[in-house]
Amino acid sequence: MARLTMTDTGRIYLDHNAGAPMRPCVVELVRDLLTRAGNPSSVHGEGRAARALIEAARARVAGLCGVPASCVTFTSGATEANVTALSPLWKAGRGERQFTRLLTCGTEHPSVTAGGRFPAAARELLPVGADGILDVAALAARVQALSAAGEMPLVAAQAANSETGVLQPLAEIARALDGTSAILHVDAVQAAGRIAIDMAGWRADSIALSAHKIGGPQGAGALVLRDAGLRPAPLLTGGGQENWNRAGTENVVAIAGFGLAAELAAAETGGWDEIAAFRDGLERALCHIWSDTVVFGAGVPRLANTCCFAVPGVAAETALIALDLGGIAVSSGSACSSGKVGVSPVLAAMGVPADLARGAIRVSLGRDSGPGEIERFLAAWRQISGRIRQAGAGRAA
């Protein structure tokens, strides 16, 4: 298989949490499908062939999650899946459930912290510790209080944070909901392909997935339910596609690529030990270069591929530009729509001082990342961060 970290120009790609390069076999599939016609809602042969591709992909995504295929609804991406799930109205068999409160925390993806379809007055952010872990005791107390008052909370908690890699204790979070009518939605975008997607163990009622995080095409995602009988009211209405759960003609090419990527990702969840060793070596080297390096989320369970760090006095925006000019693609803790680096809401929720948070750099490795790429990054980082700190010291003098 071709390496996924290097491009033909010799650049190094260490930003897999933002988007993984498309797998070569997925590229081949997509290339072939681009030449085919057929609306999957049509009854002719071409339409039936398109429908077959979607249903095959649905089965593959369901296999990644350990649920029946009927529990998978394809979307344009995880943002749409999250917004769909964050609905006050859910269908329960022939009845309905009306949720009155959304409980989440400030380290979630913006599509979750924005509240979905809950009104602003019904959204609450719960505290996280300095390590980025949700305060489960605070969650349990709040859920119990709301339930005692006759309210029905919907809780949203991510499996893994995209910036720090921190893993939330989903089983503990689910236990905090025991004895109540609360349900749990999980943003599992960063977890897919890196840890097992265990909806039963997590006791998650729904999860969101994204194709391009696991080597599939951009423009496809899924809302996956543990029980197809309990589902949110559709976000997009008007057509009967996706069993009336999401109107609009399906993106057949992207969905088919998503399905193939999901099947491959399901076989990879246990093979990250070597990447974890590379990540740990990277962090030791960073702290050797600058002893005041801060690694965010260190000491708690994290994704094996993710390192988020900062060095006091080294602005991320300046460093990212220099690294990019040197042929190395990494990311910052946060990027706003203007493309400028801002203070990460994730790090702010963890109580990280703004001056330090502005220096956050995220290195996220892929399965094919190797020591050569890490060594080249470290050499560049030593030079670039040294120049920035020296310039800062000169201005201070």
Question: 77-120: per-residue pLDDT in tens?
Answer: 999 999 999 999 999 988 999 999 999 999 999 999 999 999 99
- Confidence band for 397, pLDDT divided at 50, 70 and 90: low
Asked if residue 340 has pLDDT above 60, the reply is no
pTM of the full predicted structure?
A: 0.94
Reported as a pLDDT band with limits 50, 70 and 90, residue 394 is low
Question: Cα(105)–Cα(332) distance, rounded to whole angstroms?
Answer: 20
> Which of 14-23, 63-72, 323-332, 336-345 shows the lowest mean pLDDT across its residues?
336-345
Task: Give yes or no for residue 273 having a pLDDT over 80.
Answer: yes
pLDDT at 5: 42
C-alpha 176/C-alpha 170 separation (Å) is: 10
Dist CA 82 CA 337 (whole Å)? 20
Span 324-338, mean pLDDT? 77
Q: What is the mean pLDDT of residues 145-174?
A: 97
Q: Provide the total of helices (H) and of strands (E) in the chain, helices listed first.
A: 13, 16
Burial class of residue 348, CB neighbours in 10 A (0-12, 13-18, 19+) = middle
Question: What mean pLDDT, rounded, does the chain reach?
Answer: 93
Tokens 């025991």 sit on residue? 178
Is a pLDDT exceeding 90 seen at residue 10?
no
pLDDT of residue 312: 96
> Could you tell me which of 195, 168, 128 has the C-alpha nearest to residue 300?
168
In the prediction, which pLDDT does 77 show?
97
Structure confidence at residue 4 (pLDDT):
39
Q: Which residue has the tokens 């921190």?
A: 166
Cα-to-chain-centroid distance, residue 256 = 20
User: What is the per-residue pLDDT for 339?
Assistant: 57
Q: How confident is the model at residue 333 (pLDDT cuts 50, 70, 90)?
A: low
Q: pLDDT per residue over 356-369, tens digit each?
A: 999 999 999 999 99
DSSP string covering 63-90? HHHTS-GGGEEEESSHHHHHHHHS-SEE
For residues 240-263, give the mean pLDDT.
Answer: 96
- Is the four-CA dihedral 369, 272, 85, 39 of positive or negative sign? positive
Rounded to an integer, the average pLDDT of 2-10 is 48
DSSP string, 177-234: TTTSS-EEEEE-TTTTTTS---HHHHT-SEEEEEGGGTT--TT-EEEEESSTTEEEPP
Residue 125 pLDDT exceeds 80: yes
Q: What per-residue confidence (pLDDT) applies to 2?
A: 35
pLDDT, greater one: 57 or 394? 57
Active site positions, annotated: 336
- Of the pLDDT bands very low, low, confident and very high (cuts 50, 70, 90), residue 133 is very high
Tell me how far apart the alpha carbons of residues 68 and 61 are, in angstroms, rounded to a whole number.
10
Task: Give the mean model confidence (pLDDT) for residues 138-148.
Answer: 97
Over residues 17-46, the mean pLDDT reads 95
Examine the pLDDT at 334 and tell me if it is beyond 60. no
4-8, 27-31, 195-199, 244-248: least confidently modelled range: 4-8
